[in-house]
């Protein structure tokens, strides 16, 4: 057994984990397979950690273009020879993703192909018209890739937030996938946000199916309707308080909407767009609530409006701003 070094892992463990991912992602997973995988995970903490990371990356291989996929398969040829059969290319692809991605300490031109196709800087938003007629709005400090085929449409959200306005196509499901799970459109418009190791889903129109990725079990799923929200995380999938879907998607038009909302939550949202986040004491502001519409393209004006409506005081030192109770 090789000990994991900083940023490295034993290639044999990576290959074994890839093989388990193929087994666990099958349509029918027997109790014997689950038990055998659990036994392998218990042999060493690195086994389980590698498998968890591998499953988090599963699916990104599918979003690569043909050239990058061929290079990955060449890099992972030894694993492909060890794992023959239907899952061979999938296992090899997963190994290749990790190998060229730097988890095994290697760098190559293929790693650049794994980088997001679309990225936004802090304070920037980007509208993306897809070839199928769907539209994405990528929020501030976000990154995503898109793969469209005849029978599947997939958006890979690496981090940040995306709004999807989905064109109907019964033959090609539209899925937004994150490290925590995946959201399948059953209708038209929804929001997916990746934050603090969890995925948050808000439905604006129609319905979606939100499923958490499970390590050694079938994924837990929820079906959500307009205004409904869910959180997908390591601890499961759970419903959140319902919201007004139109207000929740107001950021796509450059506005932050708050309706009797804790001011600390509004400041958290505003800070995602600011080059210099506002400093504030969460405990001191815990009882303050706010209602209003705030421009995301002028966050200083938004901050002044929040302070004016709540009686809070802004202190400035150059680009730095602090919001605190008056007095």
Distances in whole angstroms, Cα of residue 308 to Cα of each of 261, 264, 298: 16, 15, 16
Distance, CA of 176 to CA of 164 (rounded, Å): 9
* Residue 296 confidence (pLDDT): 97
pLDDT at 94: 56
Q: CATH 3.55.50.30 in the chain, residues?
A: 254-325
pLDDT for 48: 80
**Angle, in degrees to the nearest 10, between helices 11-24 and 88-100:** 140
Residue 35: per-residue pLDDT: 84
Looking at residue 266, what is its pLDDT? 97
Residue 99 has φ and ψ, to the nearest 5°, of -65, -55
Alpha helices in the chain (DSSP H): 11-24, 31-43, 45-57, 66-75, 77-82, 88-100, 109-114, 245-248, 263-271, 299-310
Q: What is residue 57's predicted lDDT score, i.e. its pLDDT?
A: 61
Kindly state the tokens that stand for 105: 């300490």
Positions of CATH 2.60.120.1440 in the chain: 118-246
Contact of 97 with 57, CB cutoff 8 Å = yes
* Max CA pair span of the chain: 72
Class of domain 254-325 (CATH, top level): alpha beta
Q: Which pLDDT score is estimated for 265? A: 96
Does pTM top 0.75 for this prediction?
A: no
Please give the Cα distance from 104 to 95 (Å, whole number).
10
Per-10-residue mean pLDDT for the chain, 327 residues long? 42 80 68 84 82 64 51 48 49 53 43 69 96 97 92 93 96 92 93 93 96 69 96 90 94 96 96 96 96 96 96 93 91
- How far is it, in rounded angstroms, from Cα 316 to Cα 172? 52
Q: Tell me, what's the pLDDT at 106?
A: 36
Q: Which CATH number is associated with domain 118-246?
A: 2.60.120.1440
Instruction: State the burial class of residue 141 (Cβ atoms within 10 Å of its Cβ: 0-12, 13-18, 19+).
Output: middle
């Amino acid at each position: 057994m090789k000990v994991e070094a900083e940023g490295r892992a034993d290639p044999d463990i990576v290959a074994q984990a890839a093989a388990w991912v193929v087994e666990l992602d099958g349509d029918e997973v027997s109790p014997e397979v689950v038990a055998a995988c659990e036994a392998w995970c218990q042999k060493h903490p690195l086994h389980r950690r590698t498998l968890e990371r591998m499953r988090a990356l599963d699916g990104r291989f599918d979003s690569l273009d043909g050239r990058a996929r061929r290079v990955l398969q060449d890099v992972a040829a030894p694993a492909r020879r060890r794992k023959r059969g239907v899952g061979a290319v999938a296992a090899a692809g997963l190994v290749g993703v990790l190998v060229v991605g730097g988890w095994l300490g290697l760098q190559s031109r293929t790693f650049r192909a794994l980088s997001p196709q679309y990225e936004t800087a802090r304070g920037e938003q980007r509208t993306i018209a897809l070839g199928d007629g769907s539209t994405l709005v990528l929020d501030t400090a976000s990154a995503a890739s898109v793969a469209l085929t005849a029978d599947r449409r997939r958006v890979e959200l690496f981090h940040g937030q995306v709004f999807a306005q989905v064109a109907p196509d019964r033959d090609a499901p539209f899925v937004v996938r994150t490290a925590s799970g995946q959201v399948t459109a059953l209708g038209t418009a929804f929001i997916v946000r990746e934050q603090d190791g969890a995925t948050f889903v808000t439905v604006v129109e129609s319905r979606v199916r939100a499923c958490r990725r499970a390590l050694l079990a079938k994924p837990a799923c929820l079906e959500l309707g307009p205004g409904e929200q869910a959180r997908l995380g390591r601890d499961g999938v759970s419903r959140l308080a319902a919201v007004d879907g139109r207000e929740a998607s107001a950021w796509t038009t450059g506005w932050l909407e708050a309706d009797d909302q804790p001011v600390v939550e509004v400041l958290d949202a505003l800070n995602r767009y600011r080059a210099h986040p506002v400093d504030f004491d969460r405990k001191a502001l815990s009882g303050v609530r706010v209602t209003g519409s705030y421009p995301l393209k002028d966050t200083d004006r938004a901050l002044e409006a929040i302070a004016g409506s709540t009686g809070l005081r802004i202190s400035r030192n150059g680009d730095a701003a602090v919001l605190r109770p008056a007095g």
